[in-house]
A and B are shown apart, each in its own frame.
Chain A
Amino acid sequence: MSSAYIVKRILRGLLTILLAVVVIFFLMRVAPADPAVVLASEDATEEDIQAIREAWGLDKPYTEQFLLYVRSLITGDAGMSYQFCVDKPLYKVTELVMMRLPNTIKLAFTSIIMSILMAIPIGIVCGLHPGSWIDNLVTSIGFIINAFPNFFIGMILILVFGLKLKLLPTGGNDAGFASILLPAFTLSLHFSVTLTRMTRTQFIQVMRSNFIRTTKAKGLDRAKILYIHGLRNVSIPLTTIIGLRIGAMLGGSIVVETLFRWPGLGYLLMTSVTGGDYPTVQFLVPYVCAVFVVINFIVDMLYGVLDPRAKAEKKA
């Protein structure tokens, strides 16, 4: 791993985040929700709203607002959130994010572990017997799952397990581990389909490769061929997509978190956008973007560890 490579990656990552910062700043200001109107009470006069604008600095020109915003990102002090307050702000944005982040992380990892536990064994079975009835069945089920959007799957699960069977809570985060099961499962399904397909194709490809033929020719046990040489080679591409998935999930899932009222970042982002909470949105989006950049970087590093060839390429 050359230092020039790392510097290049860091610069590229910073550029990506900068772009996100610019885009989200202007998008928020084009959006119809006017924070001053949202913050003001129902019977507020035009003067009241103007007063709120001045108090929050929303009357300043965009260039000045933008510079203030960039400064707040650099200092890490994103200011106060507009949410949950009328007269006097209650939470700093950073406090709010720190309260919600653990929930999002919990949800992300639970759902990814669920996906891995489901997808990799199924993918291996399908990859070992391509075209068999079980392979066809799994493929068909995958198509059906992919045809349903997450919010729909989530609602069905709430109906069945929450309302009919009364086995699991329908939402919130009050019932301990039980409350994470439904949202995590909902989130894991689509990724399980992707991961199963990926495992299957990779396994088929690896099992056809010349080096697997060599392991057979030298008389290795089938178990060793499958679980040492097969799995190790399949793990390289799988690491990439699992890593990227973790990145995507650490930003929080807006749809599923909102549906299950799961107090994570996705739910927070949702309420912030609808409530015109500029400081929170403007902090969350670059954060999500940074998580992506960092995870991407980590995945590439991991790739180098898993695949000796990649290490060599980057050295050269």
Chain B
Amino acid sequence: MQNVLEVKNLKTYFFTDEGIAKAVDDISFEIGAGETVGLVGESGCGKSVTSLSVMRLLKAHTMEGQILLEGKDLNNMSERELSKTRGKDISMIFQDPMTSLDPCFTCGYQMRETILQHHDVDKQQADKMALELLKSVGIPDPKATLRRYPHELSGGQRQRIMIAMAMTCNTKLLIADEPTTALDMTIQAQILNLMRDIRKEHNTAILMITHDLGVVAELCDRVIVMYCGKIVESGTVRQIFHSPMHPYTRDLLASLPSLDVKQDRLNTISGVVPSITALPTGCRYHPRCSVLCEACSREYPEMIEVEPGHKVCCHLCERKES
């Protein structure tokens, strides 16, 4: 499978009064064509910064590494080249559909300007395309919706508009930064279904940023688990959910409520996420980890591949000899 996106040694640092915030610290991953990859982790683990870094939408003090979109390095592009790529080959939808559309313009205008930016068509044709796109994302009464302002629509409808706008060019990679977090449960399911349809129809690769493991299990092929700016484990959904290797992944899964076992209290991970400017030495999870070894506080473990496609970053995991 050819990779749509290859991220190599991405580092995104911010200089703050408290010190250097290593929001994303030397991570590498790839996404294959048509693949849906879930990027999970607690709040503040760097998943949103990762997605915004890939889109080059951040003003970070340090941004190193390669972001190869079909071989072209986004991190080397000028603003001009970037605006040609964004919205065309790589698109993004955001967490908060309520504020992600310009309140001063109609949905139709905002759709049309996106289409005109990337397609060589006139206004009438652009409006026709916008109408088709709205139909394809399941907006009821698309014609009237084009004339409406964002505040006249519900959150779910706005997110549909965002998706329609992201799909103006049959984008190869869609980054979805917690697209359902701000929506209620039934709408969440509808939006996830919509994304599934889009993937099937256009063979779009999706990078799904979420803290909702349910969403991952439902939609994704592979999972990347982040903790404190680092990738701690990655593998297929099956590998991660059935044989998690990293203690953090295990604790994360154990904190999910279960329908089968009666629980009085939900499991939680003890301790708190360390401050991004004062990270612990060695493995960043060791202060909260339940299965420590002597090396954990001393040095950062290397990423090893325990089985094909299943990588983990922990001193206690050993390569399975095959």
Interface residue ranges, A against B (CB under 8 Å)? 209-222, 224, 228-229, 232-233, 236, 306-309, 312
Contact = CB atoms under 8 A, between A and B. Distances in A.
B149 interface: yes
A219 B152 contact: no
Nearest to A236: B104
B176 to A, nearest CB: 12
A219 B171 CA distance: 12
7 contacts: A210-B99, A211-B99, A216-B83, A217-B94, A218-B117, A219-B114, A224-B117
Contacts of B151: 308-309, 312
A224 B113 CA distance: 9
Interface string B72-106: 00000001001111111001101010011111110
Nearest to A209: B99
Contact of A219 (B84, B105, B149): B84
Interface string B106-150: 000000011001100000000000000000000000000000010
Main secondary structure of the interface of A (DSSP, over half): helix
B240 interface: no
B279 to A, nearest CB: 27
Contact of A218 (B96, B103, B114, B152): B114
Contact of B118 (A219, A224, A232): A219
B191 interface: no
Interface residues of B, number: 32
Given A213-B57, A214-B162, A219 B88 contact: yes
A216 B103 contact: no
Nearest to A219: B87
A260 to B, nearest CB: 40
B166 interface: yes
Interface of B: 55, 57, 79, 82-88, 91-92, 94, 96, 99-105, 113-114, 117-118, 149, 151-152, 162, 165-166, 168
A219 B104 contact: no
By CB atoms of chain A within 10 A, which of B55, B84, B86, B165 has the most? Answer: B86
A211 B103 contact: yes
Contacts of A222: 79, 83
Contacts of A212: 102
A261 B55 CA distance: 61
A84 B194 CA distance: 81
A218 B99 contact: no
A221 B79 CA distance: 9
By CB atoms of chain A within 10 A, which of B88, B149, B168 has the most? Answer: B149
Nearest to A221: B83
B150 to A, nearest CB: 8
Nearest to B85: A219
B105 A232 contact: yes
A220 B82 CA distance: 10
Contacts of A210: 94, 96, 99-100
B86 A216 contact: yes
B104 A308 contact: yes
Nearest to A216: B57
A229 to B, nearest CB: 5
Nearest to A312: B151
B100 A214 contact: yes
B83 A233 contact: no
A109 to B, nearest CB: 26
A222 B47 CA distance: 26
A213 B86 CA distance: 12
Given A218-B87, A224-B113, A232-B104, A312 B57 contact: no
Contacts of A218: 86-87, 91, 114, 117, 165-166, 168
Contacts of B92: 217
Contact of B103 (A219, A220, A221, A309): A309
Nearest to B162: A214
Given A211-B100, A212-B102, A229-B102, 10 more contacts: A209-B99, A210-B94, A214-B101, A214-B162, A216-B57, A217-B57, A219-B114, A220-B87, A232-B104, A309-B149
